[in-house]
Chain A
Amino acid sequence: MAIKTPKIDLRTSPYIRRSPSVPQIMRNVVYALIPLVIFSMVHFGISALALIVVTTFSCIATEHLFCKWAAKKTTITDFSAVITGLLLAMTLPPGFPLWMGAVGGFVAIAMGKTLFGGIGFNVFNPALVGRAFLQAAFPVSITTWTPTHVAERFIEFIPSTLALPFMRPEETAQWTAQVATDGFTGATPLALMKFQQIISDNTALFFGTVTGSVGETSTLLILLCGGYLIFRKMLDWRIPAAVIFGTAISAEFFHLIDPEAPRALFMILSGGLMFAAVFMASDMVASPITPLGIFVFGVLVGFLTVLIRLYGAMTEAVMYAILFGNAATPLIESFTQPKIYGARKK
C-alpha cells in the first residue's frame, strides 16, 4: 500500500507562530478603550459620545480614502485608525465642536500617518499630531472646559458641540454658569494649579470626578484598562512605568527648588498624564524598542512634561512632551542598542 501523494505546502520556519497578530492587538486596544468611552459618556453626556463617534469616523474615512487614492487594499480592517480616532477624542474637551473634531481626525491620519507611509512608519503618534494641530488652530475651543455631571447631559448637547463649520462656536460661559452647581470656573485642576495656585484633591483626581478632557479624568479606570492590555501582553508596561517614574522624580526635583510647585502625586494624577503615559506614549511605532531606550524615553517625557507644566504657557504639556520624545526616538535608539550575549566585557 502506498499513500496517495498529498498536496504539499511549502513555508519557511518557524512553522508555529504565537498569536496575537497586529489586528488582534489593535482590536484589544479598542476593547480597552471602551470603558473609558462609557465613563466619559456618564461623565459628560451625549456631547462626549458624539465627539468620539465623529473623530473615530473621520479617522476611518480618511484612512480609507487615502488607501483608495493610493490604489492599495484598504487598511481600516487593522483597527489602528479606530484607535487613533478614539485616542484623539479622549484628549479633547467634552464640548469641543464636532466639526473641529472631524478636522482633527483627518489631520491625524493624513499628516500623522499616511504622509509617513502608513502603519509602522509614523514618526509621531498620529492622535497627538491631530491634537497638536487642533491646539494651534483652535486655541480657544480646545481650552474651554465644561462641568461634569450636568443634569441634562443625556438629552442636551453642550452648546459649542454643534457649532457650524468655520463659525465661531457659541460662548459656553453663560451656559456653564447656568448649569454648574458649585461655582465651576471652567478650569481644569492643572489650570487651577497654574493660574490660581489651587491644588485639587488627589482622591478626586484618582476617581476622575473632576473636569478635564473627555477620557482623561479617571486615573483608576485608565489603570484598569491599561492593566488589561498589559495582562494580555499587548502593551509594554515599561513605557508607562518609565513616564510615571520620570514625572515623579522631576516633580519632586522642582518641588525641592520651589516648594510652591506641586508634589509628584498631583503631577501624576492630573492633566491627562496617566492617559498619555498608558495610551499615548506607548504607541509602539513612535517609541523606542531597545530596553534602555524605553527607559530614557519615558524619563525624558516625564521630565519635559513637568518642565512645560511649570514654566511653559500651556497646561496640556504631556502631549508636547510625547511628541518631542517621538522625535528623539531614533536618536535614543541609536545610542541604546542592547549588548549582545557573549559580548566581550572590557
Chain B
Amino acid sequence: MRTCEPLLFKNRRIGETVFLEGYRRTGGYQGLEKALRDMTPASVREEVKASGLRGRGGAGFSTGLKWSFFPSDDPGEKYLVCNGDEMEPGTFKDRQLLLADPHHLLEGVLIACYALGIGTAYIFLRDAYRQCAANLEHAMDEAREAGLLGDNILGSGFSCEVHVHRSAGRYICGEETALLNSLEGLRPNPRSKPPFPAVKGLFGKPTALNNIETLANVPHIITGGAAWYKSLALTEKGSGTKLYGLAGHLETPCCVELPLGMPLGELIRDFGGGVWQQRSFKACLPGGASTPYLTAEHLDVALDYETLEQVGTRLGTGGVVVFDDRTCMVAATLNLLRFFARESCGWCTPCRDGLPLVCWLLERIELGQGTREDMTMLQEQLRYINGRSFCALALGAMGPVDGLLRHFAEEVEDHIRLGRCPLQA
C-alpha cells in the first residue's frame, strides 16, 4: 500500500486537536522562523513559485503565479483573505485540518503575509465550522503570547494581525469576489472581474485570496525547499501532497493525505475500503460536486490537475464521491443540480433561470416522463449556460450534466425509452 509521510496531517489524531506545544514539537513555526530570519519576501515568493504549488480551493491556479501578480512591494494597506467557506458537497478537508492542527494554517497565513508585504489577514470560515473557529482563536491567543502574531513577530520587524470571520451559510460566499462582499457586510453577489482582487479587493485594496489547504502547504515549501516539495508528487507535472476526501458508497469514507497524482482505483481500494456492500464501482465525482464524472474505465487515472483535465474533468477540491452500480446517474445528477439551483445567488439569468430548467428536465427524465426533445434541451443548456454566467458557479453546476451526457447518455436514453428509471425495480 502506497502511503506518504504526511505534511499537513502530520499531527492529526482523530478526535484530538494539537496546539502550540504539540505543533512546535514536530517542527512547527520553523518555516516562519526561516522565512523571517534568512529570506527576503521576494525569495519566499520565488520558492513558492518554484514549488509548483497549485490552489487547493477548486480552480487549481498556480499559487506562485497568482502571488507574482500581487503588488507586494507597493506601500499602503493590503489584505490576505483565507477562503474557508468549504461548502462544495463532497469537500471536508479544510475542516479536518482545523480540527486537528489550527497552527498549521496560522503559520501558512503569516508566511504568506510576509511574502506579500501584507499586515492584515482575514480567515473566512463557514457558519457550520464553529469548532474550527474556536480552535483557530485559541491558536491565535497562544501565538500572540509566544510572539508569533501581532507586532514585531519574533523580533524581525514584521507585524501581522489576523481576524477570524464567521459567516452564515450560502455556497456562493466561497466564490472569491462574493466572499469579499460578504466580508465587507454587503450582499454577497459576486463582483465583476476585472478589477481582480489583487488590484482592487477587500475595502478597495489589493487582496490576495487563497484556500486553507493551499496556505497550509507553504510552511513545508519553506522548510523543505521547492525541489523537495515538487518531488513528493507521483506525477511528473504535479507537486506536493493532497488532502483527498473519500465519500459516497465506500466501506471506509475518510480524508487522507497522499502524494498528488494517486491513481483513482488505488485510492478507493486502499483508503476507501473499496466500494461498499461488495458492489462494484460505477462512477465518481473526482473533486467535489462541480467536477464531471469519471467512470470504471478511469480507475487508473492519476488524481492530479493535468491528468484529470486530459480526461475531461478537474481535480477541483480533491473530494472523491463514489457511486456504486445501483446508483441512477440521472438521480445523482438531479441531486447535484438541485444543490446548485438552490445556492444560485440569483444575480444573472443563465444561472438563476437556467439551473431550475435543468432540474426540471432531469426530474422529468428521472420520473420517466422525459422525451428526446428534453434530452436535446439538456444538451443545449450546456451551451447556453456555460460561458454566459456572471461567475463560475453555473459553469461548475453544469459539470455533472456534462459528465452525464458524455458517459451515461445510454442510461438517460433508457429512461426515455422505458418510461421509467431503469435502476428502480
Partners in one complex: no
